[in-house]
Amino acid sequence: MRAYAHPSIVSMYASYLVGDELWVLMEYMECGALTDIISHAKLTEEQIATICLPVLTALAYLHDHGVIHRDVKSDSVLLSAKGIVKLSDFGFCAKVSAESPRRRSLVGTPYWMAPEVIARIPYFTAADVWSFGVLIIEMVEGEPNLFDDPPSVAMERIKKSFTPHLRFPQMVSILASKK
């Protein structure tokens, strides 16, 4: 990932093979993962929008360079003490090209995975857009849809016909004002 330098992507400085383990030296984001924040506090719509912009610009940059992230979720979004938001966690990334424009691998985290990923139907960068939508739901409601289901049950439901949605749309001002 060192080749992909972007202001909204965590910088990777070096990597080392220590025994049979790969150690990665990365930029330090002192506030940690977004997961830690949303598990303790409700985000405002302004905060959610502020987080969305750099995540989307990072995804657009990766997609423009033929990279699918494949694990977009709150654990993959890091924050600094200055409020800087960056995408991280590139262990499941895949490169796509004109010769190989789609992937079939079943990788990612169940509750955020797109149906085509779970079904192993050839997929491309749009799978990240699905996961980003689930991330927004997670920021609004504190957890993704189906989080109370075991991962295998959630995956089966997503694969068959589940559509991510806000369980409490009244929590979002634009939706609440339409009633």
SS (HEC) of 76-143? HEEECCCCCEEECCCCCCEECCCCCCCECCCCCCHHHCCHHHHCCCCECCHHHHHHHHHHHHHHHHCC
The verdict on residue 7 lying in a domain is: no
The verdict on residue 19 lying in a domain is: no
By annotation, the residues acting in catalysis are 71
pTM greater than 0.85: yes
The verdict on residue 107 lying in a domain is: yes
Give how many domains the chain has, as a whole number.
1
The verdict on residue 21 lying in a domain is: no
Q: Give the 3-state secondary structure percentages of the chain, helix then strand then coil, rounded to 5.
A: 40, 15, 45
Residue tagged 């657009």 (tokens)? 60
Burial 64-94 (b: 16+ CB within 10 A, else e): eeebbbbbbbbbbbbbeeeeebbbbbbeeeb
Question: What CATH number is given to the structural domain containing 103?
Answer: 1.10.510.10
Identify the domain containing residue 58 by its residue range: 29-176
The verdict on residue 59 lying in a domain is: yes
Q: pLDDT 10s per residue in the chain (179 long)? A: 667 899 999 999 999 999 999 899 999 999 999 999 999 999 999 999 999 999 999 999 999 999 999 999 999 999 999 999 999 999 888 888 778 778 878 889 999 999 999 999 999 999 999 999 999 999 999 999 999 999 999 999 999 988 999 988 887 887 656 65
The verdict on residue 67 lying in a domain is: yes
The verdict on residue 122 lying in a domain is: yes
Cβ count within 10 A of residue 158:
25
pLDDT at 171: 76
The verdict on residue 5 lying in a domain is: no
